[in-house]
Structure 1
């Protein structure tokens, strides 16, 4: 796991009022410094946003606020950082991208209180050594390396206090801001999206469920020479501490650095793209958080460690078949079959206007370029992402589509986009067409 957290620490705000205050301050920065009064003006009929005029200093303050809050607010902020280059500009995107890597860690006092509560006083006797400086910190918790007295090398994921209890209020506050910033097209009800996000975040804070998902995923993956999943250590797991094998490596997006060859980048991207299809079509269990830090590449063993199963979803067979039909139709250019799959997925309805149907199918056809292209698709040389992003954004801002996709599929969309973006980040050549063929 990466060692990147020699950072300042601040207590995790746990009261609803405290978290609302931090969110209000973050929103002020997001609105280029207009503050709470500006939010009030927006709620009374300000203009819908286009390109957000967020300067570097405002973005930095925005990021710092979300990183300090952790929890649901930071998790949603991470979604904004996946690739917002056209919305925010490159300098701001880089700042927001820090949300993908880490949050602020807890101060030692809060950490000690959590360890005493979960393990009891004298917990130190269980360990030969525990590094009190976290090796990683994210939206839900932070990770510490520890060695037990019986010689096990572990990573302890320790949940931030109050995060689980604050999820519902955070989601309500975020829902209020989305409505008042007019971030959705007129007529679209974002409530199902926020409800699905609320359920997902409650799952992510259930460490017993995550330990179960980790074991299930490892069993379905089986012995693999290229991929490895940590195993939980149940005797040291508690409701707020998840103990697992410590695995080494660097986040896979760093493989783009010059010391790694084109062949290395192609191999890493290909392994993770193929894994995405295996998860959906073979496992029926998808790890839906594509944060690059959840994949660690060990250059010595050439293996990829697969982390974080709080976002693992069991996929109903109906959705597996729907995506199979959509992928097959996209590959074959079968617009009628694409249309039916879009209705099933909630992109369109039976009564959608002809122009909306045509524009949606055109956008999907454009997005499916790697699926239709035989042989390795060169993500490094392709401008497909920009073409899809610009066209999708135009349709969004023109309020052409008023349908919210099926909530059960929302995090799958995030996984697929994350895999696409990883291939793009690594400038890799990946045979998407060939990988999908056995499943269609």
Structure 2
């Protein structure tokens, strides 16, 4: 058997080792209940065991499984606390860590991509990675001219691994759905499958990163490292040193969380206006708090190309929603493709559904929290709720796919930060078509 099929079988076997949702719970629960353990103890033990097994497997597989885990980690703020607590620590690990490649593999990739004399370019090069994530890992080095750089290398076989993982994850989507009741994992997997090509193209990523770096050169709030050299599988860019955003989430003061939350939103919304791009991977592993307080941003593998900025329809519809004109909102959503032509949606029900999502734009300042995020998730996922039935009727046009991902993912990060700030002022400055409405 060749090496590639053997690896594929190994990856499939690891994915197959994941607990099978309700069946796994029932088996564990039955054994413990026979032994006299209380139901609460059974659930807590199962959650701990599932968390350990699930994320150990995802982290080891890297590829699509790792990327899926990173996306899932954004949504832990929407989980009920009794579910979220056992998973939070292991979810956070997935945001910026994974087992590294051997040094020999790293050297082989650099020889192929930068030339056999690649070491002549460097004064120093650390064989141990500084960070490892879903489809690549980053090494720290110093060029001959003294510049410190980050050398990002794509894992060998990343394309094959991604596609294999995502095929398997599609089969296990129902299992993952037990982590967040009501959250349909199939669209997440489908989105990952659609975006494989973009994230694997390091030349495309380098172009987006440099475009951002040019737009935000010497910016007072943001730092984007400039690209030094790139190839289809390697990106060499300036090194930036900062405190991971995840550490602000877990240990930052209220002032730090508020300030960084506001900068996070300002970066996301200013990108389309200033750079013609929307950074579309909002998880905390891509952000650093610099020593001078600026927000450093890395990983531009997934960016929406928006040369004309964000669609003005978003701002106009948000403004109309704040004004309470349900009929105009319905007609506008239908015109943009969010409501299919023959779908009947009551304006009053639509406004009830949208009202909480518009809250951050309604007031001068808004307080995000895990409790607020969970309330919205419960409201839209409980099949007995009118909001949940309406959500099933709404459509997501392809042109809004990445914008929606950033909006939902960004709200999740702000809820993890429990940030309070004047977010409506950011919309007023950077969202075309939006006008603040006094409440």
Asked if these proteins are the same fold (TM beyond 0.5), I'd say: yes
Aligned residues: CA RMSD: 3.5
Corresponding residue of 2:238: 245
Q: 1:189 to 1:147 in 2, by over 3 A?
A: closer
The residue that corresponds to 2:420 in the other structure is 429
3-state DSSP of counterpart to 1:128: strand
Which residue number corresponds to residue 387 of structure 1? 375
SS in 2 for 1:55: helix
Question: For the residues of structure 2 that align with 1:246 and 1:408, how far apart are their CA atoms?
Answer: 33
- CA–CA separation in structure 1 for the residues paired with 2:67 and 2:349: 31
Out of 222, 233, 240, which is 1:227 matched to?
222
CA contact (8 A) 1:274 1:435 kept: yes
1:101-112 → structure 2 map (5 Å cutoff)? 101-112=96-107
Tell me how far apart the structure 1 counterparts of residues 222 and 176 of structure 2 sit (CA, whole Å): 42
What's the CA shift string for 1:178-215, capped at 9, x where partnerless?
378888999x9957x65542232221111111110011
Map of 1:259-408 to 2, 5 A cutoff? Answer: 261-299=253-291, 301-315=292-306, 320-344=311-335, 346-354=337-345, 358-373=348-363, 375-379=364-368, 383-395=371-383, 401=392, 403-408=394-399
**TM-aligned CA distance change 1:232 to 1:360, over 3 Å:** same
Aligned residue for 2:75, secondary structure, equals coil
- Quickly say closer, same or farther: Cα 1:14–1:422, change in 2 above 3 A: farther
1:44-55 alignment, distance < 5 Å: 55=47
Contact 1:67 1:74 in 2 (8 A): yes
Q: 1:137/1:64 Cα in 2 relative to 1: closer, same or farther (>3 Å)?
A: same
Q: Which of 185, 195, 202 is the matching residue for 1:200?
A: 195
Deviation at 1:352, TM superposition (A): 2.6
Query: In structure 1, what is the equivalent of residue 80 of structure 2?
Result: 86
Match for residue 119 of structure 1?
114
**Residues 344 and 74 (structure 1), Cα distance of their counterparts in 2 relative to 1, 3 Å cut:** farther
Correspondence 1:29-48 to 2 at 5 A: 32=24
* Separation of aligned partners in 1, 2:236 and 2:264: 25
Q: Which residue of 2 aligns with 1:70?
A: 62
Gaps of 5+ in 2: 28-42, 435-439
1: CA distance between counterparts of 2:401 and 2:219? 29
CA offsets per residue over residues 50-107 of structure 1, 9 Å max, x none? x999521222111111111111221112211112332943112332232122222123
CA contact (8 A) 1:325 1:337 kept: no
Partner SS, residue 134 of structure 2? coil
What is the SS of the residue equivalent to 1:101? coil
**Cα shift at 1:127:** 1.6
In structure 2, the partner of 1:134 is: 129
Residues in 2 aligned to 1:65 and 1:344: alpha-carbon distance in whole angstroms = 44
In structure 2, distance between residues paired with 1:174 and 1:292 = 23
* 1:372-422 per-position Cα deviation (integer Å, ceiling 9, x unaligned): 11x221235x84212211101214996661555223323322212232233
What TM-score, normalized by structure 1, do the two folds share?
Answer: 0.80
Contact 1:29 1:61 in 2 (8 A): no
Aligned length: 406
The superposition leaves residues 90-145 of structure 1 with CA deviations (integer Å, 9 ceiling, x where unpaired) of 11233223212222212334333323333344533332111111111110111110
TM-fit CA distance, 1:360:
4.4
Give the Å deviation of 1:345. Answer: 5.5
The 1:339–1:210 alpha-carbon spacing in structure 2 relative to 1, beyond 3 Å, is: same
Residue 25 of structure 1, CA deviation: 2.2
Q: What's the CA shift string for 1:153-200, capped at 9, x where partnerless?
A: 1001111111123333333333333378888999x9957x65542232
1:148-163 equivalences under 5 Å are: 148-163=143-158
CA distance in 1, matches of 2:10, 2:335: 41
5+ residue gaps, structure 1: 1-10, 36-50
Counterpart-to-counterpart distance in 2, 1:97 and 1:264 = 19
- State how far apart, in whole Å, the 2-side matches of 1:67 and 1:176 are: 19
Q: In the alignment, is the contact (CA less than 8 A) between 2:64 and 2:134 conserved in 1? A: yes
- Correspondence 1:22 to 2:18: no
Mean Cα deviation higher: 321-330 or 155-164: 321-330
- Give 3-state SS (helix, strand or coil) of 1:290's partner: coil
Distance 1:175 1:331, change over 3 A: same
